[in-house]
Amino acid sequence: LSEDPLLAMTYNIIRPFKYEERYRLTIDSAMLCGVYGHCNNSMTVGMTVKGEKDYGHLIVAVQGLPVYGDSGRVIPAFMELLNSSGAPVAKTVVENGVATFRDMNPEKYYARIILDRNGNGMWDAGSYEKKLQPEQVFYFMLQFEIRQNWKIEEMWDISKSKPGEKPYELIKNKPKEDIKKKRDYREESKPRRSNSSTPGIRGLGI
């Protein structure tokens, strides 16, 4: 088992699964217990791995990664794929300027790169006491569309990206597109002149 780097209290099973194979996971009772002493019952879960052609692959060549001062050593970085809500669903380390995502479900994804200055594999918010800035995050402004049985190769020069700038679709508090004009009640209260004359009422003689 390996702790999931994106989801809290989640673990991944690390083993070489084969395409189009069926697997069964059996967990004995009292194998997992919570902080309040409640333990699990015995359970069996079945799962089937889809065929290789049912997945897609994404390979991103990353350029413009900054270096540590004058050392020339590139700052470590990792890339995350995000769903349409902006939640991370996959993560990989940028190795030799390349980020590779294999066996992804065919969907549309956004992407972001985190400069992992301390190399701990997670984003750090910085420290006021230690005078450390938050680790920089760069977003790819377009979506990646992964299709079945496709391998997509893209290039991303993050030196042309602004730190923290998100695609419009991922901005939660979007600016109002239509600004309503405020009513001028003082102007509305002024009497208006009519351009048409009201005809008088004539009496009818009998």
Q: How far is CA 58 from CA 23, 38, 80, in A?
A: 26, 41, 12
Answering whether pTM is above 0.85, one says no
pLDDT of residue 7: 67
- Within 10 Å of residue 193's Cβ, how many Cβ atoms? 5
Residue 96, number of CB atoms within 10 A of its CB: 7
Instruction: State how beta strands 56-63 and 151-157 pair.
Output: parallel
Residue type, 173: N
Nearest to 67, CA basis, from 158, 176, 195, 178: 158
Q: Tell the residue number behind the tokens 């940028």, with chain if given.
A: 94
Predicted local confidence at residue 206, as pLDDT: 37
CA 111 vs. chain centroid, Å, equals 7
Q: What is the pLDDT at residue 187?
A: 56
Residue 78 pairs in a beta bridge with: 93, 114
pLDDT number for residue 128 = 82
Helix (H, G, I), strand (E, B) or coil at 158: helix
Which residues in the chain land under pLDDT 70? Answer: 5-8, 176-206
What domains can be seen in the chain, in order of their start residue? 1-49 (no CATH), 55-167 (2.60.40.10)
